[in-house]
Amino acid sequence: MGGVPSTPRFSGGSRPHETAEYLIGAFIGEKSFPLASDYWQKLLELPLNLHWSSDRVQQACLHFVQNNCYTRHLAKILIHLSWCLQECVSTSDASSSAYVKALNAVYVSSVFLKHLIENAKTDNFEDLYMSLNESEEIPSNVPKEQSIEHLVVNSVLNFLGRVDVRSDTYLLHYELLNFMLVALSTQLLSGPSLGADDIHPFFDAAMSQPTSLVNLAIRKLLVNYIMRPRFPLKASSYYIFSEGYRPGVLQRVGSVAANLVLLPLNFFASSSNEASRSPLADNSLNILLILVHYRKSLGMDHFKDKIDYSSSDSLPKEESFFENPYCKALENARDIEFDRVDVEGNAPGGPVVRLPFASLFDTLGMCLADETSALLLYSLVHGNSDFLEYVLVRTDLDTLLMPLLETLYNAPRRTSNQIYMVLIILLILSQDSSFNASIHKLVLPSVPWYQERVLHQISLGSLMVIILTRTVKYNLSKLRDVYLHTNCLAILANMAPHVHRLSGYASQRLVSLFDMLARKYNKLAEMKNDKMHVPNGESKEENSLQEDMAAELHIYTDFLRIVLEILNAILTYSLPRNPEVVYAIMHRQEVFQPFKSHPRFNELLDNIFMVLDFFNSRMDAEKMDGEWSVEKVLQVIIVNCRSWRVDGLKMFTQLRFTYEQESHPEEFFIPYVWQLVLSRSGLNFSPGSIHLFPADLPLQDNIGEEAEKASEVTRKEMSQRIEVPV
C-alpha cells in the first residue's frame, strides 16, 4: 500500500483526510483491533472521503486478504454494522451518529467482502473468516449461538423492513441493498442446482430468518418497487476510494454515485413505454428476485431417519427441496383491500404479506418494458393464485397486455429469454376462459407503436392474434425456435373458442399463419423425398440428417393441425360472431386444398370445406351486377350467418394448453436472474470468477449471446411442459 501504514495515528491535530487514510490502513493491516476497541468508533464516525484509484483499492484488498484471517476485521465490522442498524431502528433521528456509522460500515464492508467473494479459493467460503478468534473476548450483546452472517442479515432485513425510505434514509437503504447484492453474489461462483452440502453463508442466513421478518422484508421490497422513491439530489454523494471523478471502486461495488455516473442519460427520463426509473426500486426488485428464486436440494440425509429401507414405498419418489420462505411469502401475499376469508369462510394459516394489489398492478403496467418486471409478473401469476385472480377480474387488462404485446412486437430488439417469459405469462392468462372472453370486449382506440398499418378501434383480443401470428412469422424467418412456435400456438388455441368479432386484419393473419406453416411443411416434405431417392450407401451423417428432417416434418405437421383446430374452434363455437374469419377463409380457400386428403388433417378440413360450401353456395345464389366488393361479400356472409347451423360439423375436443413449470426451474431462473442483475445494478463481477453461466465475453455481450445459449436447453425443457389433455 505504499504510504498506508499498518497502524493508525490518532493525534488530535491530524487532518481528516490523513486520519481516514490511517484508519483504513489499520483496517487492512496486520494488527487486530478487539471489538470493544475505540478504533471502530473512530473508523466509522469519520467522513471517509478518500480519493483512491482503482489500482490502489485493489492493492488494499490484497493486503486485507492476507491479514483478515488473523485480524477477523471483516467479521468485526459486520458486527458493528449490525449494532449500528439496531440503533438506527430504535431511533427515529436519521441525523444521529448511528446512521453515519452504519453507512460507513456497510460501504467499507461491501468493498472488501466483494473482493473476498470474487477471489474465494474454497467452495464453502471459509476464507471469508466469518467468525471471531477463540482468544477474542465476545461482548454480551453478540449471541454466541448465532453466526455473524445470520446476525448481520437479520439486522439488514430488519432495518430495510421497519425504517421508512425518506430523503435522509435513502442512501443507507440503497447501500444496504447493494451490500445484500454483494453478500448473495456467492451464487455466481457455483452452478444453479445446489446440493444439501453446498454452502452459501449469507443465503443460508437469509433462509433461516423468522417468518415474520421474511414477510416484512418481502413487503418492503415490493413497496419500494411500487412507490419508486427517487434519489434525493441534495443528498451527499460518496466518492470513497475513487480518484477525483474517475471511476474507482464505486464502479466495482455499485454504490449510488457509481450508478448515477454509469446509467445512460435517459435512465431517469420518462418515456411512453417505461416508467421513471428508481435505483432503489430496481435494486429492491433485484434482491427480491434473487431471494425468491433460490432453490436448494435437501439431499437423502434429510430422509435417512424417515425411510424404511425394507419397503420401497417409503423411498422418496423424487428429489425434494427445502421450502424457500421468501418464495412462500410472495406466493401467499394478499390484497390489502380484500381477504378471501370474506367469501370462502377460512382465513389464511399464519401471517401473510399484505400489499395494495391495485398499485402493484399499475406499477407493473408502467415497468413491463424492463425484463426484471416481466419476471416479477411471471413469478406472481404463476405462484400467487390471489394475484392471478385479481388480474383476471380487472377490466383494464390492456394495462398489462399492451406493454407485453409491444415487447413481442419489438422481438428483434429483445432477448429470447424476455420473449419467452412474455409468452409464458400470456399462456398462463389464456388458461382462464373469462380472460379469453374479456379481451374481445375491450376495444382499443389506437395502437401507436404498431407501424405496419393503422389500427383503430380494434379489440385487445384481435391485437393479440395479430401480434402472436407476427411473432411466429418472425421466429420462422429469424430465430427458428420450435418451442417459441409451440407457445404462440398454445395461446391462440386457448383463445379460439372465445373469439368474438375478430377484426378483418386479425382474421387474415390467422389464415396467413396456416399458409406460412404450410409452405415450411411443403419445403421439408420435398427435401425429405429428395433424400429418400438418394442411392444406398449414404453415411451416418446423412442418416442422421434424414432423421432430423423427419422429426422436424412431424413437428410442423403438429403445428398445422393446431392451426386447423384453432380455425375449427372459431367456426364451431362462434361462427355467427366472426364473419371476418369466414371471409378470410373464403378469400384464401386455395391454401387448404392441397391438404384435403392428408390423413392428419382430413377430418378438420372436412369441417372447413363444409363451411366454405355453405357460404359459396349462398354467394352463387346472389345475383350481382358488376364485381363483388369486400363490403358486399361481407354483407352476404353476415346475412347468412343467421341461418348457419353447426349441426353438420364434426365436434372435436377443445384444445386446452396449460403451463407447468419444469421440475428443476432453478437451472433457468437463477442464471437468468443474475444475468439481469449484473446488467442493471452496476455490480461488476469478475467474469473469470463466474461459474453460474458462461462469462467468456464482456458482460453486456455475454448476456445477449452466450448466456442465452446456456439457458436454451432449459427453456426447451420448460416449453415441453406445456400440456394438453388427451
pLDDT digits (tens, 9 = 90+) for 523-570: 988 888 776 655 555 566 677 777 888 888 999 999 999 999 999 999
- For the stretch 113-130, pLDDT in tens is 999 999 998 888 988 999
Residue 252 has pLDDT above 50, yes or no: no
Residue 261 has pLDDT above 50, yes or no: no
For residue 630, which amino acid is it? V
pLDDT of residue 540: 66
Distance CA 477, CA 498 (A): 30
- For the stretch 496-508, pLDDT in tens is 999 999 999 999 9
Of all residues in the chain, the percent with pLDDT exceeding 70 is 79
Distance CA 383, CA 338 (A): 18
Distance CA 581, CA 560 (A): 17
- For the stretch 26-58, pLDDT in tens is 999 999 999 999 999 999 988 766 677 888 889
Distance CA 467, CA 483 (A): 17
Residue 250 has pLDDT above 80, yes or no: no
Q: At what angle do helices 602-621 and 630-641 cross, to 10 degrees?
A: 110
Residue 257 has pLDDT above 50, yes or no: no
In this structure, the chain runs to a length of 726
Residue in this structure with the C-alpha cell 377460512, named with its chain if needed: 346
Distance CA 462, CA 229 (A): 37
- For the stretch 320-342, pLDDT in tens is 767 899 999 999 999 998 765 54
Residue in this structure with the C-alpha cell 429470447, named with its chain if needed: 416
Residue in this structure with the C-alpha cell 407501424, named with its chain if needed: 451
Distance CA 101, CA 42 (A): 9
Instruction: Report the chain's C-alpha Rg in angstroms.
Output: 31
Region of 165 please: left (phi>0), alpha (psi -120 to 50) or beta: beta
H/E stretch holding 650: none
Residue 411 has pLDDT above 70, yes or no: yes
- For the stretch 621-642, pLDDT in tens is 887 766 888 899 999 999 999 8
Residues 6+ apart with CB under 8 A from 60: 1, 4, 24, 28, 52, 241
Rounded to the nearest angstrom, the gap between the alpha carbon of residue 86 and the centroid of all alpha carbons in its chain is 33
Distance CA 84, CA 99 (A): 7
pLDDT of residue 91: 85
pLDDT of residue 81: 97
Contact call for residues 192 and 670 (beta carbons, < 8 A): yes
Which cell numbers hold the place of 356? 395494495
Residue 300 has pLDDT above 70, yes or no: no
Contact call for residues 257 and 265 (beta carbons, < 8 A): no
Residue 348 has pLDDT above 60, yes or no: no
Rounded to the nearest angstrom, the gap between the alpha carbon of residue 444 and the centroid of all alpha carbons in its chain is 28
Region of 501 please: left (phi>0), alpha (psi -120 to 50) or beta: left
Strand 443-446 relative to strand 354-355, pairing: unpaired
When the pLDDT of each residue in the chain is averaged and rounded to a whole number, the result is 83
What global pTM score does this model have?
0.87
Distance CA 403, CA 33 (A): 55
Q: What angle do CA 294, 295, 298 make, to 5 degrees?
A: 145
* SS3 state at 661: coil
Q: What angle do CA 462, 510, 461 make, to 5 degrees?
A: 15
Residue 602 has pLDDT above 90, yes or no: yes
Contact call for residues 553 and 521 (beta carbons, < 8 A): yes
Residue 238 has pLDDT above 90, yes or no: no
pLDDT of residue 681: 84
Q: What integer is the mean pLDDT of 173-188?
A: 96
Distance CA 201, CA 122 (A): 12
Structure-model confidence comparison of residues 570 and 14, the more confident one: 570
Poorest-pLDDT segment among 216-230, 291-305, 391-405 = 291-305
Residue 600 has pLDDT above 90, yes or no: yes
pLDDT of residue 535: 57
Q: At what angle do helices 73-90 and 16-28 cross, to 10 degrees?
A: 120
Residues 6+ apart with CB under 8 A from 543: none
Distance CA 497, CA 125 (A): 56
pLDDT of residue 49: 67
